[in-house]
Structure 1
Amino acid sequence: MPSPTPSIPPADKGPVRRSAGRPRDPAKLEAILDAGWALFLERGVEAVPMEAIAARARVSKGTLYASFVDKTALFEAAMLRETERIEVAQRFAATEVFDAPLSDTLRAFGIGIMNFLASDQAIGFYGALSADVRRHPDLSHAFWELGPGRTRANLATILAKAGERGEIEIDDPGHAAEALFGLWQGFSNLQLALEGGTDDARAAIADRVERGIAIFMRAHRGGRP
């Protein structure tokens, strides 16, 4: 069965300032990024010295500085890697199987993205690093384009195609995507941020997505039974 991916222009990630002498061992580069990201989540960017990142990654300071000229460059690279992971997490849901009912496609999309948003890595990012990202306009834009912006565009594409096939009546796919996403998310983001109730929030994802789809479909079926 064909599974076309919506045509969405890639985000402009902007330059990532790395030193000329990147380590030849890709495993060391990944270790540096893993260590830096973990420490940024634990302490915030400003409070993490480069020496701590080198120690956590088990590389020398020379290897660290051969990879990234400074901590800001390392943060940019780690942040862009995380946005790419967000894209991968929803990529399967951004494809549409033509033989499947719209509700099945939306269910896969909703459960996939909501599971990601309730993951430890997503919660950690929004809790610890959102302020740091806002201090880097280019990085903030890249995160929006590859994260929330792409989620909205992918969902809008699915809804627009369903409208073209006559499955739903829809005027503005973008606004409809925002409304549906709001039904899925509800207050769960506040619950995760304020209470840390990850188990309860994760357990409720499937039911929340199902209810949101039911409400959305009733609103957009028009005169269809």
Structure 2
Amino acid sequence: MSDSEKQCCAPKRSRAGRPPDPAKDQAIMKAARDLFLERGFSGTTIEEIAANASVSKVTVYKRFCDKETLFEKCVRKEIGRMAEAFDVGDGSSEGLEQRLNAFGLKLTKFLTRPNHVALDRVMGQEFAQVPSLGKRMFEAGPGQSRARLAAVLQEACDDGILTCDDPLRAAEDLLVLWRGFIEVELKFAVRPAIDEESVRERVEHGTRTFLRAYQR
């Protein structure tokens, strides 16, 4: 990789003053997401991402700096898409249950997809070899999920719907209830797959159990 390819810089405007084409960023992100899920982080190259996005390798480097940054942005975008579920429902107790179920369903469906399970199997080894990458991905993925969920729970506490001394700990409790043992069974291939209805039942059961413990 040349020094120019390694250089991180913001996309430059053209001489006419036009902003960068956002379609290129979207194409790069989509290509990267698909390849990361299919081949993992180490198995994916910038060259392949550029080719699948129909852009040059230099364009990828200029817009996203490096593969680590691109992977992190893909993870953050995925979590942001899931967090849109918090926009449903209202400020009532029933509305909170609806919002939690919507987020839990999106999150659990993503985590139990076969390509994500396969990726999860190998990423632990990569994070052990490169701890700095593991920290970045934790903050972008699980850490961000926990923080967004904790913010919703804190809001519910402020509104008098829930009672909890530590919203982050409460978020962890709920995440465990949602995920249960599914991911372990999938990771060890004890269970080949899980259907959406089973995911929904587990998420709704986890939310009900959580609310019984934390509702005032």
- The answer to whether the superposition gives a TM-score over 0.5 is yes
Determine the C-alpha separation between the residues in 2 that align with 1:191 and 1:50. 33
Per the alignment, residue 77 of structure 1 pairs with 70
Q: CA deviation at 1:112?
A: 2.5
Match for 1:105 among 96, 99, 105? 99
- Structure 1 range deviating more: 179-188 or 204-213: 204-213
Give yes or no for contact 1:19–1:66 (8 Å, CA) kept in 2: no
Q: 1:144 to 1:64 in 2, by over 3 A?
A: same
Aligned residues: 203
Per the alignment, residue 64 of structure 1 pairs with 57
Match for 2:81 among 88, 112, 128? 88
Asked if 1:189 is matched to 2:190, the reply is no
Determine the C-alpha separation between the residues in 1 that align with 2:11 and 2:86. 38
1:170 match: secondary structure: coil
Match for 1:144 among 135, 138, 141? 138
**Could you tell me which amino acid in structure 1 is paired with residue 107 of structure 2?**
I
- Structure 1 range deviating more: 181-190 or 123-132: 123-132
Determine the C-alpha separation between the residues in 2 that align with 1:168 and 1:26. 42
Runs of 4 or more consecutive aligned structure 1 residues displaced over 6 Å after TM superposition:
19-22
User: Greater share of helix residues, 1 or 2?
Assistant: 2
- 1:4-43 maps to which residues of 2 (within 5 A)? 18=8, 30-31=26-27, 33-43=29-39
**Could you tell me which amino acid in structure 1 is paired with residue 66 of structure 2?**
A
Q: 1:100 to 1:178 in 2, by over 3 A?
A: same
TM-score under structure 2 length normalisation: 0.70
1:129 match: secondary structure: helix
Q: Structure 2 regions of 5+ residues with no counterpart?
A: 1-5, 13-19
Match for 2:206 among 212, 219, 223? 212
**Could you tell me which amino acid in structure 2 is paired with residue 78 of structure 1?**
F
Q: CA deviation at 1:151?
A: 1.6
Determine the C-alpha separation between the residues in 1 that align with 2:9 and 2:133. 19
Aligned Cα root-mean-square deviation (Å):
3.7
Q: 1:104 to 1:47 in 2, by over 3 A?
A: closer
